[in-house]
């Protein structure tokens, strides 16, 4: 990724009437990635995981952000928003350029699930304003107990440097302090669909599909 310029733009890069952005939030281990994979199949979304994009940038040879990202991930803290927003915007640009088949991607339209983002209020406001306003936030909720046991299970095979008890505890603190306010903000403007992600994968998937169907039904109504 090229160095980030200070682009003080106020018009979003993408038109929310054409490009649908759904933020997918929930604590670490809530099931965001698992459920996104289903929604990609059901609704022709492109799935962009902020964490995955950061890990790829961290491992990219010559990246000036590699060390910064590695430290943040290990400590469970949040990478400065400029880095994450630029990675997301670039990935969106690339997906739109591909001109995918199907009505969801015709005539400059597109659908994105932005997973694990925004983790902090500044990211939320900046992305909505300068990249694309989100249409919906899907919030997968479950207890820390459930999340901890899922992450410990995943840690046996994930190879992730942050799937260990010390990092997980720090990630929970960051989630409570920084990400919860983001969910509260979008709740206050009626943009959140909260889904209990404690039950089995199929049950959660059905509930998430209902929320997305409602979103597209509302959008279709608005544009007709």
Residue 33 vs 66, nearer CB to Mg ion? 33
DSSP assignment of 32-80 equals HHHHHHHHHHHH-PEEEEHHHHHHHHHHSTT-TTHHHHHHHHHHT-PPP
Q: What's the closest the beta carbon of residue 76 comes to ligand C5P, in angstroms? A: 5
Instruction: Judge contact between 27 and 76, C-beta under 8 A.
Output: no
Task: Give the residue, chosen from 116, 134, 137, 212, that forms a contact with ligand C5P under the rule CB under 6 A.
Answer: 116
Q: How far is CA 190 from CA 101, 186, 219, in A?
A: 32, 6, 15
Spatial strand order of the sheet with 46-49 comes to 46-49, 110-115, 19-25, 136-141, 192-196
Residue 54 vs 208, nearer CB to ligand C5P? 54
Does residue 79 touch ligand C5P according to CB under 6 A? Answer: yes
Does residue 95 touch ligand C5P according to CB under 6 A? Answer: no
Residue 40 vs 104, nearer CB to ligand C5P? 40
Task: Give the residue, chosen from 86, 111, 150, 171, that forms a contact with ligand C5P under the rule CB under 6 A.
Answer: 171
Binding positions for Mg ion, rule: CB under 5 A: 33
Mapping DSSP onto H, E and C, the string for 4-18 reads: CCCCCCCCCCCCCCC
**Residue 116 annotated in ligand binding:** yes
Does residue 78 touch ligand C5P according to CB under 6 A? Answer: yes
Annotated binding-site ranges for a ribonucleoside 5'-phosphate: 55, 77-79, 116-119, 123, 160, 171
Annotated binding-site ranges for ATP: 29-34, 154, 199
């Amino acid at each position: 990724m090229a160095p980030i310029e200070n682009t003080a733009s106020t018009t979003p890069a993408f038109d929310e009437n054409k490009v649908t952005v759904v933020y997918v939030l929930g604590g670490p281990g809530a099931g965001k990635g698992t459920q996104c994979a289903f929604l990609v199949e059901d609704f022709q979304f492109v799935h962009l995981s902020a964490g995955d994009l950061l890990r790829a940038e961290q491992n990219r040879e010559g990246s000036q952000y590699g060390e910064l990202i590695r430290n943040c991930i290990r400590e469970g803290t949040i990478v400065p928003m400029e880095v994450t927003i630029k990675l997301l915007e670039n990935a969106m640009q690339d997906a739109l350029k591909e001109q995918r088949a199907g009505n969801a991607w015709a005539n400059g339209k597109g659908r994105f699930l932005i997973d694990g983002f925004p983790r902090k209020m500044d990211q939320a406001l900046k992305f909505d304003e300068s990249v694309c306003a989100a249409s919906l936030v899907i919030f997968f909720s479950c207890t820390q107990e459930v999340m901890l046991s899922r992450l410990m299970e995943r840690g046996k095979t994930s190879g992730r440097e942050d799937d260990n008890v010390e990092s997980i505890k720090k990630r929970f603190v960051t989630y409570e302090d920084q990400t919860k306010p983001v969910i509260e903000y979008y709740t206050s403007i009626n943009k959140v669909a909260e889904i209990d992600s404690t039950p089995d994968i199929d049950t959660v998937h059905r509930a998430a599909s209902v929320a997305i169907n409602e979103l597209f039904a509302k959008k279709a109504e608005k544009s007709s």
